[in-house]
Each structure stands twice: as structure tokens, then as C-alpha cells.
Amino acid sequence: MPPRFPSQVILRGVCRAFGRTFALHRVDLTLQAGQAIGIVGDNGAGKSTLLDLLATTDRPTSGTIVYDDVSRQHFARRARHRIGWVSHHKLLYDELTARENLLFFARMYGVDNPADRVASWLERVGLAADADRRVRNFSRGMTQRLTIARALIHNPQLLLFDEPATGLDQQGGRFIVDLLRTLRDRGRIVILVTHDFDLLDGLVDRLVILRRGQITYDHPVEENKRIIDVYRTHA
Amino acid sequence: MLRDVPSPGPHQPLPAVVMNRPLLRQTLTIVGKDLRREWRSREILTTTIAFAVLLMVIFTFAFYHDDETISLVFPGILWIAIVFTGTLAVSRTFQHERDSDCLRALALIPGSQYSLYLGKFIVNLIFIAIFELALIPLLIFTFSIDVSGTLGLHILTVAVGTVGFAALGTLVSAMLVRNDLREILLPIVLYPLLIPLLIAAVQVTSAIVDGAGWPEVGSWIQAMIAMDLLYALLSLALFRWVLAAVE
């Protein structure tokens, strides 16, 4: 499996229905390596459903999702470790320390030299001094930094970030932008779902607006144009 | 034409992340994490040991009349206490995965559909063994059971019964982890499936208390081992689907 796999994710006519309600309806989207894509929309627009589908933890009702030329089913079975996911939930164990949480996931993924990798990530997310404190005692912002380290500890290629700046202060927000920009420049596919338009400015190359499960806007971000203005025009 | 994820040839080595993922390492990592967590919270062991002792006291007062009835009531009390208390233990081992929603994170890790089951199975075995170590000597002392010469058979019977219970209990507990009525549903789903094993366990324990040896109970114990294997293999095979449904 090439280290850059998948370099492209293609969604064609993807629908996801819950009963008679469509959370997503005929979504066509192509995601490329080295791109940071911002996905915005009102509550219930289908943003989280889209991330669930990309993470293969949910199945489309109809339509296809292809990772390079690998089907969703095969990707789900054999290549899910290529995904790094920051969801609404922290996906961390409260009773364990920050270091123990990262070590647990690093060992589960079979990361080489897990202790060194964990120490490096703790340093990177600014938690080295709190590495041996239990997550239960962390502030929201510290937990979010650890969540991001947990999602990236295994060096994934497809990065799904759902409101990654939740609970972070200004410095934390800048850290996220710098981190995601670096990852994008290293050829990762970065998908960012957020309501924080300041976070998107200067980071995403492309903006996708979802409205009631349908894509109403999908264009590269123009220089000198604020994303909030684009959103107000097209949402 | 869609292709399968390719197996790497000699000229295309897999990243280290994919190469080093033996089942044993993942299983031991899960066991270590759960034991560390339990050591800090003491959530499962304190409640199960207290519950087991309480059950024993209630059953002793309810069923014990005289020495003549010991062999009749002891096996039932022993296995009811193990099953009821064990249910409490197995219901909790997946609970903290649900509370932290870490099942989703674990589901993204290759191989976790097997290592998660095996890890939780081993953790359940350890928790049940610990409360049995507290419960069974108390029961033997309270009922003045003579275990001289039959201790090995008693230990073997309890061990074989416990393995079967933990194998099936781990699967059913995972199945119900997202269900709001899981505490009620767990015994309703689990106990009927355990009936063959429990009947055998009670029969064997009763026979041993009455002085039977391996020649008399050997075939029963072999049947229990066969049931353990069946439960464990079925559970391991089904766990992947269960995880996919609850992740």
C-alpha cells in the first residue's frame, strides 16, 4: 500500500437516508491529496453524516465512494488505519493519563517506537508538562489538543476534523491552523468541518457548502475573499 | 473496475504501521489498559466482590437448613452467585468504551475486531477469577464442605464453567453496549444461552460434593470444555459483525 494511499476520494451520487429523511442527497465530491477542504453548513445540513461516510463508519443508502480505485467496502475492511478522525467525541479514556492514552493507541496501531512518537506528539501539542496527568482533570482545550494527537499518532493520510478548534483558545486555534497547513503541504487530504470561519480563512483551498443534504457551492477559495462572505452569499 | 487493497510485493514494503500488528500485542495492550483503568477506579472489583458476598449471605439464610441439605443447595448457590456476579462484571467491561465513545476509535484500527474481543474476554476472566477467589473459600467455609481430595476437580469445574460464561458474556455484553436497556437485556439474552453449561456445571459440582471423582464426572467436564470451545469460537467469529453494528 503506497504511503500516500488514498491520494483521492471520489463520491458519486451519494445519498444517506434515515427513514424518509435524506441527510445527504446526490452528493458528488472529489477530494485530492494536498488539499484542505472546508465543509460548512447549518445544523442538520449533513456535514457530520458526510464525515461518517468518509470514515466508513456509516454506509451510503445509494451512490458510491471510492478511495483511489479501492471500493468503500474494501477500504473499510483493510485500510481504515489510513484515517485520522477528530469527531464530536474525544475518544479518550478519562482514567488514563495523556501519555497512557497516546501509548495505547500507538501500540494498537503498531507504531514503531511508540514511546518516542508519543513524547514527540505530546511536545508538539503542548502537553509535555501535563503528560502524566489523567485526562479526567484536563480542561476542554487540553483534551482537544490530546484528541488531535490521538487522531494523528499513526500518521494517517485522510484527515477528518469535525470542529477541531472546540474549546481551544486563540493560541490553540493558531496551532490547529499551522498543524493542518503543514499536513496539507505534506500531501494529506484534510477535511475540515467547522462553524469557525476564522479557522477556515487562510487554511482551506476549497470551500464546500452543504444545505439540507445537498452541495450548493463547491469552489476553490479565492484570494482576498473572506469565507464568511462567500458563505453568506451561497448558504 | 475497482480493485482490492493490494498486498505489498517485495518491492513495495508496507509502512511499519501496517506490518507490526500482531493480535497478541493488541490483545495485551487492551488487557493492560483495562486493568490499569480498573486499578485506578476499582469500579468493577469492589462492586462485584460486595455483591457476591451479599448474595452468599442471602442464599445461605434462605436455603441452608441442616447438614443433610448441603449437597443439594451448595452447587446451586455457588453457580447462581458466580453467574449473577459475573453478569455484573461483564456488563461493565464495555461500558467505559461506550462512555468515552472509544469503540469508534478502536473500530478504525485494523485487527481490533479480534483483539478487542480477546482482550475483553481475558479481562472478564481476570475479574471473575478475582471475585471467585473471595467468594468460593467463603462458601466452602460457611457450608463446611470437605474439599480434601476433590479440590482439584472443584477448581477445574469452576475454571471451565467460568471460561464458557466469560466467552459468551463478552459477546452479549458487546451486542448490548448501545442499548439503553442493556442491564435488563443482558441476563435475558445471556442466561438461556448458558443453560447447557450451567446444568453441566451444577451436576458436576453436586457430584463432587457427594464424593464423586474423575471417572464419574470426567465426561461432564469434557462436555463443558466442548461447550466452552463452541461459545468461544462462535463469539470470536460473530464479534466482527457485532462491532460493526455498535461502532
Q: Does A74 touch chain B (CB under 8 A)?
A: yes
Q: What sign has the CA pseudo-torsion A76, A79, A82, A84?
A: positive
The per-residue pLDDT for range B186-200, each reduced to its tens digit, is 999 999 999 999 999
What average pLDDT does chain A have? 90
Q: What is the pLDDT of residues A97-132, one digit of tens each?
A: 999 999 999 999 999 999 999 999 999 999 999 999
Provide the pLDDT for residue B79. Answer: 94
Decide if A122 contacts A154 (C-beta within 8 A). no
Report d(CA A170, CA A181) in Å as an integer: 17
Task: Say if residues B44 and B120 touch (Cβ distance below 8 Å).
Answer: no
Task: Give the range of the structural domain holding residue B234, as residue numbers without chain letter.
Answer: 22-34+42-246
Considering chain B, what percentage of its residues have pLDDT values greater than 90? 54
Which residues in chain B are closer than 8 Å to A55, comparing Cβ atoms? 108
pLDDT, residue B1, reads 43
The chain B residue lying nearest A3, using CA atoms, is B15
Cβ distance of A110 and B106 shorter than 8 Å: no
Q: Among partner residues A5, A96, A110, which is closest to B33 by beta-carbon distance?
A: A96
| In a domain? residue B12 | no
Size of interface A-B (CB pairs under 8 A): 112
| pLDDT of res. B3 | 43
Q: Are A55 and B108 in contact (CB under 8 A)?
A: yes
Q: In one letter, which amino acid is A158?
A: L
Where do the domains of chain A lie? 8-234
Q: Is B71 a domain residue?
A: yes
C-alpha cell recorded at residue A98? 495523556
pLDDT at B13 over 50: no
Please determine, for residue B66, whether its predicted confidence score (pLDDT) is greater than 80: no
- Does residue B97 contact residue B177 with C-beta atoms inside 8 Å? yes
Candidates B9, B118, B106, B14; CA nearest to A112 is B14
Is the residue at B17 inside a domain?
no
Lowest mean pLDDT among B3-12, B77-86, B151-160: B3-12
Position B9 in a domain: no
Q: Taking CB atoms and an 8 Å limit, are B37 and A96 in contact across chains?
A: yes
Q: Using one digit for the tens of pLDDT, what is the confidence trace for A157-207? A: 999 999 888 878 888 888 888 999 999 999 999 999 988 888 888 788 899
CATH code for the domain defined by A8-234: 3.40.50.300
Residue B8 belongs to some domain of the structure: no
B4 interfaces chain A, CB cutoff of 8 Å: yes
d(CA A143, CA A136): 9
Q: Does A138 touch chain B (CB under 8 A)?
A: no
Flag whether B90 is in a domain: yes
Q: What's the rounded Cα separation, in Å, for the pair A167 and A152?
A: 19
Q: What distance in Å separates residue B23's CA from the closest CA in chain A?
A: 9
Cβ-defined contact of A57 to B107 (cutoff 8 Å): yes
Choose the mutation target among A95, A101, A132, A159 for the interface with B, i.e. most B CBs under 10 Å.
A95
Q: Is 60 exceeded by the pLDDT of residue B20?
A: no
Model confidence pLDDT, tens digit, residues B162-184: 999 999 999 999 999 888 888 89
Nearest by CB: B105 against A5, A91, A95:
A91
* Cα separation, B37 vs B34, whole angstroms: 5
Does A1 contact B102 at a Cβ distance shorter than 8 Å? Answer: no
Domain count of chain B?
1
Q: Cβ(B79)–Cβ(B164) under 8 Å?
A: no
Q: Comparing B64 with B191, which gets the higher pLDDT?
A: B191
All cell numbers assigned to A151:
487522531
| Cβ atoms of B173 and B103 closer than 8 Å | no
* Residue B181 falls inside a structural domain: yes
Any B CB within 8 A of A75 CB: yes
